[in-house]
Structure 1
Amino acid sequence: MNKEFDDNGSAEFEKLLQGVKPLAQDTLHFRPPVKSRRDVVENSTRQQAEVVFSDIYQPLLPSDAPMRWNRDDIDPMEVKRLRRGDYVPEYLLDLHGMRQAEAKREIAALIQACIRQNSPCCCIMHGHGTGILKQQLPIWLAQHPDVKAFHKATKEWGGDAALLVLVEVAEQEHRR
């Protein structure tokens, strides 16, 4: 009786499966995916931005004069050179429409790019708007260890709505 049932069932099963193609077996890998070098660098830059900039720190900044600042170990003449336009920014960062967290990440990435590309000057455009970024940007820049000085930009680079930033870049050895 079992033999009849088995033969009968398998024949019907074969009829049902006529014309069906078997699926290819996928191999599953349960290891975490390997991250590219670019992803690792971007992630470390984001983490650095989170650590470096604090909203609590309040540096001594001018309230009545144009926005300017220099580190204690930097000659005040560097700020004057920024104001006069002796430094030409190679990088421009436009913060229009960004939130504070996004702006922090972008500023940190800009400073890292300046250091990597050996570019001592950059321009950050914060815009007029509600003034939140205009107010916070100097506070964040004063906290970064690689920022030597900054000054309100000339009209050519954005005027009151931008800052020229002087970044400390390492002296490159002469290559042959």
Structure 2
Amino acid sequence: MSDKENFLELLKEQSKEKTEDFSSLLDGEIKVIVQDKIELKSKGIDEALAKIRQSSAVHAKEEIADTASSSFVNMVKPNDVLVFKRPGIQPYVLQKLRKGEYVEADYIDLHGKTIEQAYETVMKFIGFAKKHEFRTILIIHGKGERSNPKALMKSHVAHWLKQIPEVMAYHSAPVWKGGAGALYVILKKSDKASIINREIYQKR
């Protein structure tokens, strides 16, 4: 046998020993790792309709003036349809909100939050939406059928939104977007958007 053949035979023996050593470390058993994580998605919101999905950590960085009070809240019922608009808002805007014809730019879900936490989340979310010039947003507050008193969160959210200058109108969402447990909200146009609109109409 030549030196080359001896060398190749030696490499084969060493390779065999290493393979056996590795197997022995695993007690002769190799297990396949199975991915057992399941990605959970909200069934109530069609993600394809949203332009941006931001985590609560991002929302928490936004700030807005503390303009809403929680005093003298008008309590509503779990299945009440909520409607609000400021003077000058056309009726067709509410109709489109009711039918879900506007596409929400983003949304928040207040389930599991205290009233205090919800207040902070709503205010910061409005600030976030204002910064990014969103016109339509969705706030999921739940019906509050099990809260004491009933519709506690729903009543507070409706009360706060009426006091925020950026909120021009809102309407309870259609069933496929949360129904009486959610609100479609129209926000005030930014100064930049208003100027652009005026320029467009002037050119017509």
Smaller-chain TM-score bracket: 0.5 to 0.7
Q: How many residues align?
A: 129
Distance 1:69 1:94 in 2: 20
The one-letter amino acid of 1:103's match is A
RMSD, aligned CA: 2.7
> Residues 18-71 of structure 1, C-alpha deviation per residue, up to 9 Å, x if partnerless?
xxxxxxxxxxxxxxxxxxxxxxx94x727x2xx311122557x99x96211001
Residue in structure 1 matching 2:124, options 86, 89, 109:
109
The one-letter amino acid of 2:165's match is P
Q: Which 4+ residue blocks in structure 1 deviate beyond 6 angstroms?
A: none
Could you list the runs of 5+ residues in structure 1 that have no partner in the other structure? 1-40
Within 5 Å, give how 1:1-176 maps onto structure 2: 42=61, 45=63, 48=65, 51-57=66-72, 66-129=81-144, 130=147, 131-170=151-190, 171-172=192-193
User: What TM-score, normalized by structure 2, do the two folds share?
Assistant: 0.56
Distance 2:143 2:133 in 1: 30
Instruction: Tell me if the contact between 1:85 and 1:154 (Cα under 8 Å) persists in the aligned partners.
Output: yes
The one-letter amino acid of 1:80's match is Q
Instruction: Tell me if the contact between 2:111 and 2:142 (Cα under 8 Å) persists in the aligned partners.
Output: yes
The one-letter amino acid of 1:93's match is I
Distance 1:163 1:157 in 2: 9
The one-letter amino acid of 2:93's match is E
Distance 2:131 2:94 in 1: 23
